[in-house]
Chain A
């Protein structure tokens, strides 16, 4: 039950895309059609679900004071997390290139850019900040990925529909996507509860 809670919280309340605005570059650029958004969303779920447990092990058993080196090595956290993410993304890239060249071509530069998708690194850092246990970190990773997946599908579907609306010419495409994301973000702020400290 606890795990379900973590999953729901990561997917909806602390939605990486719409509450924290992480991973915006690929979110905006790949959301032109639902089909490509679907592929990228699945890749993000996969990468988040894999890197989160690995980074949990690194954080606890390599960097922590009770780890194998017996000292506080947390200053190495950023660079080790990035290294894990980069190697996982490289792996995903090779797998997709092998099994689905069409998806590989449509994702283009945004596949390697999952490495620098701040949602992935940000997810790992939130996992550290939240002091989750191992099974919770798996649920958090999958939930975060699922939330990001839902967000990109939602905006892609809206963008597909809005093509039939009479949007000012210069605002079509990217400009409208920005405004839509801002509005969706405001809606998600309601789920988080508006932070009184901001006012």
Chain B
């Protein structure tokens, strides 16, 4: 009886931000990170991290789609029959992705042109589908919103870290702004005080295998910092 009362009380005030909600939001940032712990969304993390700018736009798009699809699936979770749930989920994701694509086209046309293929690839980004399957299809809308937000941001965080190293070492730039490596001026006059002018861009970092190495090292550092994540098997 008391339990029923508590459950009713909790249900009557869905908007609250207690310990559990905070955990939902912050867990995916580190201890349950979509890329380094759950191993979801690797393909897009490999494809868009050649530059910081692409990675940043992609991160924002994924956060929006992740939150939106989580909330919609959670609202519809009792109506969707189990046998066709994947198709319904994919339609929800595809609709949201198309919306994000159109908004991006209207607001930031330059980024849209640079990213057009990859925005479409959000449909096959397993983070979104994975969270729908694992969380939103069995939880309330408000919690699903927090979960979607946390996972989207956690994904974006790793994306930016990987893109930082790949762009810096592969092209010598950050956000297309020349930071290290030889500039044309340096090549003409090598006495100019240009920091790291001797650096030659390592093209391996633009290719796919380097993304695997960078993510692998990020995982190494992350697990050295949080030993409870180490997987002994």
Contact = CB atoms under 8 A, between A and B. Distances in A.
Contact of B215 (A82, A168, A178): A178
Contact of A109 (B124, B130, B220, B224): B130
A1 interface: no
B223 A83 contact: no
B42 A28 contact: yes
A170 B209 contact: no
B27 interface: no
Given A87-B87, A174-B231, A112 B129 contact: yes
A179 B214 CA distance: 8
Secondary structure call for the B interface: helix
Contact of B231 (A26, A118, A173, A178): A173
Interface in A92-136: 94, 109, 112-113, 115-118, 121
Interface stretch (A16-24, A46-54, A62-70): A16-24
Contact of B90 (A83, A163, A169): A83
Contacts of B209: 182-183, 185-186, 189
A179 B40 contact: no
A112 B133 contact: yes
Given A32-B233, A82-B94, A170-B223, A118 B216 contact: no
Interface size class for chain B?
35 or more
Nearest to A113: B126
Interface residues of A, number: 48
29 contacts: A20-B208, A24-B42, A24-B43, A25-B40, A25-B126, A28-B39, A29-B39, A78-B120, A83-B87, A86-B86, A87-B87, A112-B129, A113-B130, A113-B133, A115-B129, A116-B130, A117-B124, A170-B220, A170-B221, A170-B227, A170-B230, A171-B216, A174-B36, A175-B217, A175-B219, A178-B213, A182-B210, A182-B212, A198-B206
Interface of B: 36, 39-43, 46, 83-84, 86-87, 90, 94, 120-121, 123-126, 128-130, 133-134, 203, 206-213, 215-217, 219-224, 227, 230-233
Given A25-B41, A83-B90, A175-B220, 20 more contacts: A22-B43, A28-B42, A29-B39, A87-B87, A90-B84, A116-B128, A118-B124, A169-B227, A170-B227, A173-B232, A175-B219, A175-B223, A179-B216, A182-B211, A182-B212, A182-B213, A183-B209, A186-B209, A198-B206, A199-B203
